[in-house]
Structure 1
Amino acid sequence: MGEFESSALGRVTVYSIQGCPHCVQAKATLGRLEIPVCDVDVGKHPELRARVKELTGRSTVPQIFFNNVHVGGNDDLQKLAPEELRRLVSLVKEQPLPADAPPLPEENRSEDTAGEADGAAELSLLLREMILKLFSEHLSADGKSVDYKGMSLNPAFERYCELAIQLQRLELLSLSREEKLAFFINIYNALVIHGYLRMGPPTNMWQRYRFFNYVSYLIGGEVFTLQDIENGVLRGNRKGVAQLRRPFSKTDPRLRVALPDAEPLIHFALNCGAKGCPPIKTYTPQDIDSQLRTAAEAFLENDDGCVVDSGKREVRLSQIFKWYKADFGGTDEKLLKWVLEHMSDSPKKTSLKDILSAGKTKVCFLPYDWSSNSSH
């Protein structure tokens, strides 16, 4: 979606990322308004993330502006009263773009993802962008389902598979911590979609267990399953959910690739394909910690991730915090402290501060939506 010929004087600006169902739904709604819409992919233009957060106070996408008027995200757009929406459309049609309109990227990065990539970071980015582009092309207009069968028949998927073969020749031991984080997060998220295309989405506990312990890539001469990547590499070789042993033994050569300690922020970047997972994004080694912190803030802003009930002095968190509680300190007290420290400034954070300062706070966990987003 880009700007198109129109008699309108202003524009709508949408900050989004590829593969985001909420972004797709918002852009479908905006596309019916017959006004110019400029879609800015902050995944490809990370330099704009901080500016968007500064303007909106939010880390989530999409963020939507009518000229310089910030509407909010997709939910805010869908809830607009008809008369308010008409007023905003008239604003764009009749008033020139003001000087303080939200910024656009200086230049667009090339969409060409053909050919080979040099180095782990570049290859993981290329694979992730290719699979995300495919994902976006086969996402329904309402952003709620994905045509995985259509994806598997797309010629671009075969090009993706050919490129994935290059993973086996990578040298992983020289990667820095930041490079490992970006590489393995991107590869994990791409591998989940690849696994869905080859095996279909898992529909029960046994299928999920098999999926995450079977679906794998050959990387640098070693096999890495989804379980190996998450718990072996990114969590510093910790036991996963319902696992009896660590993924890598002391003599396993893959242990040399593992991070020295668990990185809790990865839980807001990994997407296992279930509707309850965080949104999918692409990560780069440069400023990876800031990117992951932004992902955590966005997750906690959403009521699927965290609900603060001041009346009951209760905090309801995603099951992710229960499953991986050890990564967040191991106790309710340390968990709540971690959550508070990783929230962006917001009324929700203020409410959490207030109930924590008042004394004992109850922690419980929200139901997790394991259903897939497959349209078949």
Structure 2
Amino acid sequence: MKTLLLSLLLMVGLPAQAASFSHQPWQALLDRHLVVQDQGRVTQVNYRTMAADRARLQQYLQALSAVEKEQFNRWPEAERLAFLINAYNAWTVELVLTRYPDLDSIKDLGNWLKSPWQQDFIPLLGQTRSLDDIEHRLIREHFSEPRIHFAVNCASIGCPALAPQAYNADQLEQQLEQATRLFLSDKSRNRLKDDRLQVSSIFKWYQDDFRTAQGNSHPPASFLARFDQELELTPGQQQALRDGRLSIEYLDYDWRLNEAP
């Protein structure tokens, strides 16, 4: 009887185990084609070698496309979010490869009708979607998590680094926190200068996300104040930031391609 019960429990557990999606192919591509600098604050994609390995990238994309929406909906929240972040990043690389090396910026892939992020070319979860669909309608509408802005990568120098590790459910919290801290400690994108906090335009474009996360009327001040060590704020500057007394300026975004030389 005990043996029978054990067998039934194992059978019940099988579907949950089978539902887990492996991002190892994406990890293998990152291992081969991503150049990591400044302790992970900056990463560059070797698009030339990635192009030679494009068949493996497309196999991974096909695996993402094969996931049915009903299956996706049964996954835990962390697994769904990791899946969408990896999908966004991998399809961004694929979009760049459609014209590489004949472009200087991902923005070159847009036209007068649609930006590159508005183009429908991604078969995912039962629909043909755009990168904007993944970021704004699949991620931002369903996950109250501002740190995703430091995880999704727009193939540009001004963007937070493309992480050298594929995102996964088991480590997602640590990965999102690390991505945020690395980005905020990068003085080319975020810095204190002459008693003014100069930060990435990400904090201007997505102010509502940081307001929702912190529940205050001074976004992104309270969010940024959490990272006093990365921004090298004194306790007085940290409190001034929370109180809205520390001036915040938004830096111009560098849209040049994040390609390895």
Give the TM-score of the pair, scaled to structure 1. Answer: 0.53
Q: Which runs of structure 2 are paired with 1:1-376 in the superposition (5 Å)?
A: 119=19, 121-122=21-22, 125-136=23-34, 146-152=45-51, 154=52, 156-170=53-67, 171-200=71-100, 201-204=105-108, 206-207=110-111, 209-214=114-119, 216-236=121-141, 259=142, 261-281=143-163, 282-309=166-193, 312-329=194-211, 333-341=218-226, 343=227, 345=229, 348-350=232-234, 352-353=237-238, 355-356=240-241, 360-374=245-259
1:173 corresponds to which letter in structure 2?
A: N
Q: 1:304 to 1:180 in 2, by over 3 A?
A: farther
Give how far 1:120 is off: 5.5
Alignment partners' CA distance in 2, 1:306 and 1:372: 19
Q: 1:162 to 1:145 in 2, by over 3 A?
A: closer
Native 8 Å contact 2:117 2:131 kept in 1:
yes
Native 8 Å contact 2:225 2:242 kept in 1:
no
Give the TM-score of the pair, scaled to structure 2. Answer: 0.74
2:74 corresponds to which letter in structure 1?
A: S
Alignment partners' CA distance in 2, 1:187 and 1:359: 37
Q: 1:296 to 1:144 in 2, by over 3 A?
A: closer
Give how far 1:216 is off: 3.4
Native 8 Å contact 1:268 1:292 kept in 2:
yes
Alignment partners' CA distance in 2, 1:284 and 1:147: 23
Native 8 Å contact 1:332 1:363 kept in 2:
no
Alignment partners' CA distance in 1, 2:231 and 2:253: 24
Q: 1:318 to 1:290 in 2, by over 3 A?
A: same
Give how far 1:150 is off: 4.2
Structure 2, unpaired ranges of 5+: 1-17
Q: 1:340 to 1:135 in 2, by over 3 A?
A: same
2:176 corresponds to which letter in structure 1?
A: L
Alignment partners' CA distance in 1, 2:201 and 2:219: 16
Deviation per CA, 1:63-115: give whole Å up to 9, x if none. xxxxxxxxxxxxxxxxxxxxxxxxxxxxxxxxxxxxxxxxxxxxxxxxxxxxx
Alignment partners' CA distance in 2, 1:226 and 1:203: 13
Q: 1:308 to 1:294 in 2, by over 3 A?
A: same
Indicate the SS of the match to 1:223: strand
Alignment partners' CA distance in 2, 1:207 and 1:363: 33
Query: Which has the larger Rg?
Result: 1
Native 8 Å contact 1:265 1:293 kept in 2:
yes
1:362 corresponds to which letter in structure 2?
A: S
Deviation per CA, 1:177-228: give whole Å up to 9, x if none. 1111111111111111111112345345945953212263322322232111
Return the structure number with greater relative CO, CA threshold 8 A, min gap 6: 2
Instruction: Name whichever structure is richer in helix by fraction.
Output: 2
Give how far 1:140 is off: 11
Structure 1, unpaired ranges of 5+: 1-117, 237-258
Aligned-pair Cα RMSD in Å: 3.2
Identity %: 25
Indicate the SS of the match to 1:121: coil
Native 8 Å contact 2:181 2:230 kept in 1:
no
Give how far 1:149 is off: 4.1
Cross-structure match for 1:74: none
2:185 corresponds to which letter in structure 1?
A: E
1:131 corresponds to which letter in structure 2?
A: L
Indicate the SS of the match to 1:370: coil
Native 8 Å contact 1:319 1:368 kept in 2:
yes
Alignment partners' CA distance in 2, 1:262 and 1:135: 31
Give how far 1:162 is off: 2.7
Alignment partners' CA distance in 1, 2:155 and 2:123: 21
1:365 corresponds to which letter in structure 2?
A: Y
Alignment partners' CA distance in 2, 1:374 and 1:346: 26
Alignment partners' CA distance in 2, 1:187 and 1:355: 39
